[in-house]
């Protein structure tokens, strides 16, 4: 089958999406055309993602989850790499040379991951990725019910087939002894309840009032098929998959699992880091941050242990027990009254679109999250969330974190495949296009750090909250590697994080379950932040008085999402160019000064000769 698929794609190199459409084009234009074809390929292979981008061409289709589809995508990306190699690199403009490097990194990351298509890719359902999360972009009707079904009819019809493909992958995982751990699977018995709640949206009589009876019958028939599909998946999980989940939470317990884990680490961090290296970095960061916490405790003249200090905070007046409304208003105040006025002390003046703040109840994001201009503050268990962690949370999710990334002026100029990053298949890592988590989340963590520079941690408790959040990310390096490389249990991970963060046990249990489901993902955040800090330190050291923090931030944000290796190249190029420019200006100034001296000397001699009697 792979040979057949390869032959088809090779033949397609002479026509269609893979055809030679570059006659008479410059090398820059060829590269741009190739970027466009990659994006079109992604839309075609992942129709639900296409819907998210606003493309409705593939609204009748669903993503195919089969080994044949995986092979087809591999061959298609190999063809794109072949075309990329045909572009003459030295003829590209400076900007397009960097775009070439980024595109090659993008394609090669996907192709390198193909080796691991029979690991995480075989487990598409987990605590973070349900049967329904894959269809959330289109399943729920918005507006006219009849139009909704007509638009997505092919998807409703094809849904049972897609679910059957997912089951086949998971059966293969059972055969190969490469299943998820039970903690990575969530509560599958809630599937029917969740589905039935969704069906209430369809079954309201008023929604069917003006729909022709024939269409009503078809809609009910399709919904019945969907119910059967949900029942089938639930029975499979309960009767076949869950009894065969792997006994140990770490993927290193699987045959070939250690190598697989380090491939996941490389994917998420963009760097060739071993588990030992990441674990050591985490332990070192935990020790460093713990010392900073101790300084705060000493300043407050608290003589107990860190755990005792966490208990003290819970009883101190005004630090806990917020209502849901107070939780939202606290974050709104931080953004609009404290952060926004100080942004321009460390950033260039750009057209700024204020972020919206709303409450959310998504259990998978216990603190909150950002999406398309909105900072969703999780109001579940509001009374257990301390006021002093709100500032770093806001800096991370809103300004200058994810929201600032989203509105930065470079975004419209990015190639579409980088403007619309293909998320949502985390189980398949490393067989996936780059998600640039280390860049995206690394910047958000760096934004928490910038709060100190911007003078936003203006009281002792808020500064402690900043260290708690940083400790949370540093401890994830230790726990993720501990579980997946060094035999830790989930309880080991939860207890370690409770010891250093004081976060509620139920929140940390959900976090560690996610670590088990997505090996290596939790490590990207802190590694990304540390790389940005490292690049800033390098820039300051080399540029000295020429360094501008506003220019540095502009360089980081303007390039857009990239791997950390590419980001290092970008910053190094900026530093080198800045030094060359300064040297050129100095040489010109020196030359002008010499010329001025010569002219003055000649003028004096001339005047002396004229005025001499």
Q: Is residue 599 part of a domain?
A: no
How much is the CA Rg of the chain, to the nearest whole Å? 28
Cα 394 from Cα 358, distance rounded (Å):
12
Does residue 351 share a domain with residue 224?
no
Q: Is residue 611 part of a domain?
A: no
Cα→Cα distances 266→277, 424, 430, 563, 565, Å: 12, 18, 8, 10, 11
Q: What is the pLDDT of residue 599?
A: 67
Q: Measuring CA to CA, which residue among 144, 124, 156 is closest to residue 228?
A: 156
Does residue 338 share a domain with residue 280?
yes
Does residue 455 share a domain with residue 424?
yes
Domain that holds residue 488: 257-534
Does residue 283 share a domain with residue 233?
no
Q: Is residue 591 part of a domain?
A: no
Cα 372 from Cα 548, distance rounded (Å):
30
**Final residue belonging to a domain, choices 214, 229, 249:** 249
Does residue 227 share a domain with residue 105?
yes
Q: Is residue 429 part of a domain?
A: yes
Q: Is residue 53 part of a domain?
A: yes
**Final residue belonging to a domain, choices 249, 276, 291:** 249
Q: Is residue 345 part of a domain?
A: yes
Does residue 184 share a domain with residue 278?
no
Q: What is the pLDDT of residue 5?
A: 43
Asked whether the predicted pLDDT for residue 330 surpasses 70, the reply is yes
Q: What is the pLDDT of residues 67-125, one digit of tens each?
A: 999 999 999 999 999 999 999 999 999 999 999 999 999 999 999 999 999 999 999 99
Does residue 271 share a domain with residue 197?
no
Does residue 224 share a domain with residue 342?
no
* pLDDT confidence band for 9 (50 / 70 / 90): very low
More reliable by pLDDT, 99 or 380 = 99
Q: At 90, is the secondary structure helix, strand, or coil?
A: helix
Domain total in the chain: 2
Q: Is residue 605 part of a domain?
A: no
Does residue 287 share a domain with residue 226?
no
Does residue 278 share a domain with residue 217?
no
Does residue 351 share a domain with residue 208?
no
Residues in a beta bridge with 369: 376
Q: What is the pLDDT of residues 11-61, one digit of tens each?
A: 444 444 444 455 689 999 999 999 999 999 999 999 999 999 999 999 999
**Final residue belonging to a domain, choices 492, 512, 534:** 534
Question: Look-up: residue for tokens 């770093």?
Answer: 392
Asked whether the predicted pLDDT for residue 137 surpasses 50, the reply is yes
* pLDDT confidence band for 366 (50 / 70 / 90): confident
Inter-residue contact 182 to 245 (CB < 8 Å): yes
Cα 543 from Cα 530, distance rounded (Å):
20
522-545 mean pLDDT: 98
Inter-residue contact 357 to 417 (CB < 8 Å): no
* pLDDT confidence band for 132 (50 / 70 / 90): confident
Q: Average per-residue pLDDT in the chain?
A: 89
* pLDDT confidence band for 219 (50 / 70 / 90): confident
- Burial status of residue 564 (CB atoms within 10 A of its CB: 0-12, 13-18, 19 or more): buried
Q: Is residue 613 part of a domain?
A: no
373-388 mean pLDDT: 89
Does residue 142 share a domain with residue 175?
yes
């Amino acid at each position: 089958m792979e040979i057949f698929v390869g032959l088809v794609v090779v033949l397609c190199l002479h026509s269609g999406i893979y055809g030679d459409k570059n006659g008479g084009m410059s090398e820059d234009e060829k590269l741009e055309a190739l970027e466009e074809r990659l994006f079109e390929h992604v839309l075609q292979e992942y129709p639900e993602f296409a819907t998210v981008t606003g493309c409705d061409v593939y609204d009748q289709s669903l993503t195919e989850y089969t080994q044949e589809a995986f092979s087809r995508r591999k061959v298609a990306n190999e063809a794109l790499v072949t075309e990329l190699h045909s572009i003459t690199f030295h003829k590209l403009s400076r900007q397009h040379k960097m775009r070439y490097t980024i595109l090659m990194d993008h394609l090669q990351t996907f192709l390198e991951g193909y080796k691991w298509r029979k690991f995480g890719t075989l487990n598409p359902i987990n605590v973070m990725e349900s049967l329904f999360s894959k269809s959330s972009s289109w399943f729920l009707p918005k507006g006219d019910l009849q139009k909704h079904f007509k638009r997505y009819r092919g998807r409703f019809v094809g849904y049972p087939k897609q679910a059957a493909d997912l089951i086949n992958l998971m059966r293969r995982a059972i055969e190969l002894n490469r299943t998820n751990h039970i903690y990575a699977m969530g509560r599958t018995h809630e599937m029917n309840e969740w589905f039935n709640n969704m069906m209430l949206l369809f079954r309201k009589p008023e929604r069917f009032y003006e729909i022709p009876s024939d269409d009503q019958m078809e809609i009910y028939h399709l919904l019945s098929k969907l119910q059967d599909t949900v029942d089938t998946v639930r029975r499979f999980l309960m009767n076949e998959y869950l009894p065969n989940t792997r006994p140990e939470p770490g993927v290193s317990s699987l045959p070939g699992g250690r190598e697989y884990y380090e491939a996941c680490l490389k994917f998420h961090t963009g760097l060739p880091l071993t588990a030992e290296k990441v674990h050591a970095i985490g332990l070192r960061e935990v020790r460093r941050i713990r010392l900073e916490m101790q300084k705060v405790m000493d300043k407050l003249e608290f003589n107990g242990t860190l755990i005792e200090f966490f208990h003290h905070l819970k009883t101190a007046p005004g630090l806990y027990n917020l209502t849901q409304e107070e939780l939202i208003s606290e974050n709104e105040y931080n953004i609009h009254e404290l952060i926004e006025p100080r942004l321009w002390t460390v950033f260039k003046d750009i057209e700024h679109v204020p972020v919206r703040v709303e409450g959310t109840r998504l259990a998978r994001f216990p603190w909150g999250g950002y999406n398309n201009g909105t900072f969703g503050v999780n109001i579940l268990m509001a009374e257990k969330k301390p006021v002093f962690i709100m500032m770093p949370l806001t800096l991370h999710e809103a300004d200058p974190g994810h929201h600032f990334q989203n509105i930065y002026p470079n975004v419209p100029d990015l190639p579409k495949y980088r403007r619309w990053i293909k998320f949502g298949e985390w189980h398949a890592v490393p067989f996936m296009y780059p998600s640039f988590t280390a860049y995206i989340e690394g910047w958000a963590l760096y934004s928490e750090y910038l709060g100190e520079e911007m003078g936003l941690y203006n009281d002792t408790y808020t500064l402690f909250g900043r260290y708690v959040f940083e400790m949370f990310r540093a401890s994830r390096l230790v726990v993720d590697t501990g579980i997946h490389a060094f035999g830790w249990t989930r309880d080991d991970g939860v207890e370690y994080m409770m010891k250093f963060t004081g976060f509620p046990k139920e929140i940390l249990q959900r976090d560690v379950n996610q670590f088990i489901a997505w090996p290596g993902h939790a490590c990207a955040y802190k590694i990304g932040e540390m790389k940005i800090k490292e690049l800033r330190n390098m820039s300051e050291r080399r540029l000295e008085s020429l360094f501008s923090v506003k220019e540095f931030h502009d360089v980081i944000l303007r390039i857009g999402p990239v791997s950390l290796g590419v980001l290092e190249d970008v910053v190094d190029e900026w530093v080198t160019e800045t030094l060359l420019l300064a040297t050129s200006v100095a040489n010109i100034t020196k030359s002008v000064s010499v010329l001025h001296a010569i002219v003055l000397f000649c003028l004096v001699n001339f005047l002396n000769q004229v005025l001499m009697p």
